[in-house]
Amino acid sequence: MKPIRQNVKFDKKLLDKNAVKVVSTIHKAGYEVYLVGGCVRDLLLGLNPKDFDVATNAKPEQVHKLFKRSRLIGRRFRLVHVMFSQRNFIEVATFRSGKVQTAKSGVIVRDNCYGSIEDDVIRRDFSINALYYDVFKHQVIDYVGGLNDISSKEIHMIGDPVLRFEQDPVRMIRAIRFQSKLGAKLSNEIHVSILNQAHLLSHVSPARLYEECVKLFHNEYAFKVFEHLEKYGLLKCLFKQTQKNDFIKKALLNTSTRIKQNKPVTPAFLFAVFLWQAQNEQFSMIKKQQKSFYLAMSQASEEVIIAQIQQVSLPKWLTARIKDIWMMQSKLEKNHPKKVKELLDNPRFRMAYDFLLLRSKSTNPELIEVAKFWTKVQN
- Shortest gap between Cβ of 52 and Mg ion (angstroms)? 8
Give the residue, chosen from 22, 37, 144, 200, that forms a contact with ligand ATP under the rule CB under 6 A: 37
Residue 16 touching Mg ion (CB under 5 A): no
Cβ atoms of 234 and 200 closer than 8 Å:
no
125 is catalytic: yes
Cβ closer to Mg ion: 178 or 269?
A: 178
Residue ranges in 33-169 assigned as alpha helix (H): 38-44, 60-66, 117-123, 146-152, 161-167
CB 270 within 8 A of CB 252: yes
Q: Is 16 a catalytic residue?
A: no
134 is catalytic: no
Gap between the Cα atoms of 55 and 51, Å rounded: 13
Site map (CB under 6 A) of ligand ATP, residues 182-221, x = contact:
---------------------------------x------
Cβ burial 242-273 (10 Å sphere, 16+ → b, else e)? beeeebbbbbbebbbebbeeeeebbbbbbbbb
Of 29-48, which residues contact Mg ion (CB under 5 A)?
38
The reply to whether 125 sits near ligand ATP by the rule CB under 6 A is yes
**Interface residue with ligand ATP, options 19, 38, 238, 308 (CB under 6 A):** 38
98 binds ligand ATP (CB under 6 A): no
Out of 8, 32, 45, 51, the residue judged to bind Mg ion by CB under 5 A: 51
CB 311 within 8 A of CB 202: yes
Does the protein bind ligand ATP through residue 124 (CB under 6 A)?
yes
Counts of helices then strands in the chain (DSSP H, E): 18, 12
Contact between 171 and ligand ATP per CB under 6 A:
yes
Tell me the pairing of strands 154-155 and 185-186.
Answer: parallel
User: Taking Cα atoms as reference points, which of 296, 293, 254 lies closest to residue 273?
Assistant: 254
Q: Which of 42, 53, 134, 142 is catalytic?
A: 53
**Which of ligand ATP, Mg ion, none has residue 220 at its interface (CB below 5 to 8 Å by kind)?**
none
Name which of residues 282 to 311 contact Mg ion (CB under 5 A).
none
Among 134, 142, 168, 324, which residue sits at the site for ligand ATP (rule: CB under 6 A)?
168
Q: How far apart are the first and last CA of the chain?
A: 64
Contacting residues toward ligand ATP, per CB under 6 A: 37-38, 50-51, 53, 124-125, 129-130, 168, 170-171, 215
Catalytic residues: 51, 53, 125
